[in-house]
Amino acid sequence: MKRLRWLLVVCCFFIVPIYAQGKDFNPRLLQLDQSAGQALEFTKAGRYEEASAQLEQIESGLPQLHPDKEALSWSDWTVLATSLEQALQVIESPEGKEREAVEAVTSFRLAADAVVSQYQPLWVEMEQPVMSSLQSLKETSAAADSSGFHASLNTFLANYDIIQPSLKVDISKERLQSLEEQVRYVDQHRTAFLAGEEQEGKIHQLEKEMNMVFKEVSQEEASQPSLGWIISITGGIIITTLSYVGWRKYKGHQEEIKEKQNN
């Protein structure tokens, strides 16, 4: 019996992390995240009226997530409200701005996920296009390729704008400020990069900074306990516990039979 109690205690010990990961989830936040994903799917499919309706529904529910109601921090709520407003502005008049519509709604969708997710934010999946555009920026700058440089920089800026709201949620203000300053510098000094001045180091520093942001968030993900691992361990303990209980019942039943036979 003592062994059974011990197994049950251990089982409860492993169940606690699962509850701890789920107890802070707000149903309204989860609904917002799902609705943002649906709005993005509508936008990518060119179903702008449905996307707009989905975003307007999110907008109507946003006051329920106001910091005064203790659902969100002020900073996260502001990020969501601002990103949503930008998405609505584009989606309401998407003609000729189809790409901008997808980018704006994608940005909001990633921001919503960043607010809801404790681990593995979706914006980290933007690492490849962001870093690829920076690599192209370095190459075109070194080759003094004016058209290629401007195209690469514009691509990077578009990618950066997509993840910027998410960065406000997931990285420190100091790191974000450093990134913002470097991005503005490169954008405002385009001609200097193409004039052969010693500016390549600025792009290299920006590339290094962006790489650190992605890597640090990825490392944070890797350091968190896997929910699947916890569930498998918990399941194993439960099976072991139930098996032990069944064995004890079977053994007790056999002993009862022996006692009856002896009597």
| pLDDT recorded at residue 64 | 85
In the predicted structure, residue 76 carries a pLDDT above the cut 50? yes
Cα–Cα distance, 189 to 177 (Å, whole number): 18
Cα–Cα distance, 257 to 35 (Å, whole number): 62
**Does 83 map to a domain?**
yes
Average pLDDT of span 232-250: 49
The pLDDT tens digits of the residues spanning 172-181 come to 999 999 999 9
When divided into structural domains, the chain yields a total of 2
Domain boundary among 117, 144, 170: 117
Largest CA distance in the chain: 106
Tell whether 80 and 142 lie within a shared domain. no
Classified as helix, coil or strand, 95 is coil
Structural domain boundaries enclosing 144: 126-224
Tell whether 66 and 139 lie within a shared domain. no
Whose CA is closest to 234, among 1, 17, 3? 17
- What is the residue-averaged pLDDT of the chain? 81
Whose CA is closest to 138, among 84, 71, 211? 211
Percent of the chain with pLDDT over 90: 55
**Does 174 map to a domain?**
yes
Tell whether 74 and 32 lie within a shared domain. yes
Q: Tell me the CB-side half-sphere exposure of residue 104, using CA atoms within 13 A.
A: 24
